[in-house]
Amino acid sequence: MSCDIAAGVERLLRPAFLSPSWPAGKAANGIVSYVDRMIPSLRRLRHQPCVLAACRSQGAVWPDVYFLWDQERTPMARVIDPIAFRLSSENALRRRFAENIVRAVVRASAERGIDLLEMEETFGLAQLIKPRLAIPVVLRLHGPFFAIGPLSAVSPASFRNRTRQEGAGIAKADAVSAVSKDILERTRAHYGMPLHNAVVIPNPAPVVPSQERWRLAGCDQSRILFVGRFDRVKGGDVVIDCLRILVRTFPNIRLWFAGPDQGFTGEDGKCWSLREYVGHHAPETASRVDWIGTQTLESLGDLRRRAMVTMVASRYETFGVTAVEAMAYGCPLVATRAGGLEEMVADGVNGLLCPTCDPVAMAAAVTRLLTEPGLAARLGGRAGEDAASNYHPDQIARQTAGFYQQVLDGHHTRWA
């Protein structure tokens, strides 16, 4: 499908977005942030989106949100579920989850007339859902497991089962929306699918007015920031190893490590917590690491403005939500050449790029920004401009609405 999406769509759309939780708040999840930015932008275009949320982060009530586990179970489900869970809890939970999605879609269709469902590829749930819905299903490739799984501590059998399920779900979808060219082409190659009805639409960035972005005069030039999980995928180990190198030149440097500790699994299979990893691999940095855990979006904005350099150390990213958020705040950025990151970060233009798994190269890039504040300011300024022009939520919403329109037109043609 052509990526030349019309800028304006006159037809009223009523899409439903499947989100892991709601509201965005403290949810450390890129999909939740994506949905949270898309909903108001689509409404500004006079469309009427709603949300189907798996988990409720807080107790308030939102009129346009359907919580999956609020759906009343049928009498048959109450009888069958206990038996199914004894046979295979994983398969039973997957089918229960799919059933709740279908029931939420049916309810939302009756109450709001939704005409399209957008959902992620995870666990191949579309394979179970699509045959039971009359509306088209768009699968958005946020993080297919075939690309992320090899970096996770999962058994070969679990990896094969999940990737097979996700492939079946992708094949069932009416259309595919990918967050980057990299993951779309990887998906085509991995599954041997042409995916003709597919487009690349990046995730939106937060809207940050120029006066609220990073400024050299307002930051602490001895502070660096990492936002992400401590695990193998996000490269938290590389950040600590990088800091170990930096403290030799910058004895006053300090690191904010903002994100949950999910454990880093090394090549030998040993799993380290953040504090264990620091204590064993880089004890000289222990007093320089401020682990502050998961932060709200508001507090992250403040940290981004106060840190001299923001680092993204991922071994792979389908897109890179933390990178585009850092760009939106005009942060001097060092990121790895990992998947979709190279599609938004231009080396020496709006940030600096370095190889993955290379703390020496990352330390050299960070050192360059610490010692050349004029360069840091120039790259950060350009990053803020690029995020505002290329990833503004209203622009992404217009592209998405145009794509939805094409999908609905094709769906109606097939069933006419």
Query: Do 116 and 227 sit in the same domain of this protein?
Result: no
In a domain, 3, yes or no: no
Query: Do 103 and 235 sit in the same domain of this protein?
Result: no
pLDDT (0 to 100) of residue 6: 45
In a domain, 10, yes or no: no
Query: Do 185 and 276 sit in the same domain of this protein?
Result: no
The DSSP code sequence of 168-180 is HHHHHSSEEEES-
Q: What is the number of structural domains in the chain?
A: 2
Task: Look at residues 228, 236, 245 and name the one whose alpha carbon lies nearest to residue 284.
Answer: 245
pLDDT (0 to 100) of residue 70: 61
pLDDT (0 to 100) of residue 414: 57
**Encoding tokens for residue 82?**
């206990």
Query: Do 78 and 177 sit in the same domain of this protein?
Result: yes
pLDDT tens, residue by residue, 4-28: 444 444 689 999 999 998 888 656 6
Average pLDDT, integer, range 349-377: 98
Query: Do 86 and 168 sit in the same domain of this protein?
Result: yes
Structure confidence at residue 92 as a pLDDT band (50, 70, 90):
confident
pLDDT (0 to 100) of residue 7: 44
Query: Do 214 and 195 sit in the same domain of this protein?
Result: no
**Encoding tokens for residue 269?**
């299979």
pLDDT tens, residue by residue, 300-324: 999 999 999 999 999 999 999 999 9
Straight-line distance from the first to the last Cα atom of the chain, in angstroms, rounded to the nearest whole number: 21
pLDDT (0 to 100) of residue 260: 94
Query: Do 227 and 103 sit in the same domain of this protein?
Result: no
In a domain, 143, yes or no: yes
Average pLDDT, integer, range 83-111: 81
Stated as kind and residue range, the H or E segment containing 360 is helix 359-371
Range of the domain at 400: 15-204+392-415
* 193: CB partners within 8 A, 6+ apart: 167, 170, 171, 187
One-letter identity of residue 182: D
CATH number for the domain spanning 26: value is 3.40.50.2000
In a domain, 195, yes or no: yes
pLDDT tens, residue by residue, 40-58: 999 999 999 999 998 776 6
One-letter identity of residue 380: G
Average pLDDT, integer, range 187-208: 97
Please give the angle made by the CA atoms of 25, 380 and 301, to the nearest 5 degrees: 20
Query: Do 239 and 127 sit in the same domain of this protein?
Result: no
* Contact of 177 with 140, CB cutoff 8 Å: yes
How many residues are present in the chain?
A: 416
- Spatial distance between the Cα atoms of 69 and 67, rounded to a whole number of angstroms: 6
Helix and strand numbers (H, E) in the chain are 15, 15
pLDDT (0 to 100) of residue 2: 41
**Encoding tokens for residue 42?**
């689509």
Query: Do 199 and 283 sit in the same domain of this protein?
Result: no
Taking 70 as the threshold, does the pLDDT of residue 372 lie above it?
yes
Average pLDDT, integer, range 246-257: 97
Number of Cβ within 10 Å of residue 209's Cβ equals 8
In a domain, 46, yes or no: yes
Comparing 8-22, 219-233, 271-285, which segment has the lowest mean pLDDT? Answer: 8-22
* 203: CB partners within 8 A, 6+ apart: 30, 33, 34, 37, 179, 319, 321, 324, 391, 396
pLDDT (0 to 100) of residue 74: 58
Query: Do 65 and 163 sit in the same domain of this protein?
Result: yes
Comparing 74-78, 94-98, 203-207, 402-406, which segment has the lowest mean pLDDT? Answer: 74-78
Average pLDDT, integer, range 185-191: 98
pLDDT tens, residue by residue, 153-167: 788 999 999 999 999
Query: Do 158 and 285 sit in the same domain of this protein?
Result: no
Q: What is the pTM of this model?
A: 0.90
Average pLDDT, integer, range 253-279: 94
Assess whether the previous peptide bond of 75 is cis (omega < 30° from 0). Answer: no
- Spatial distance between the Cα atoms of 241 and 212, rounded to a whole number of angstroms: 32
Stronger pLDDT, 335 or 6, i.e. the higher one: 335
In a domain, 90, yes or no: yes
Comparing 48-62, 135-149, 259-273, which segment has the lowest mean pLDDT? Answer: 48-62
In a domain, 8, yes or no: no
Query: Do 111 and 216 sit in the same domain of this protein?
Result: no
In a domain, 9, yes or no: no
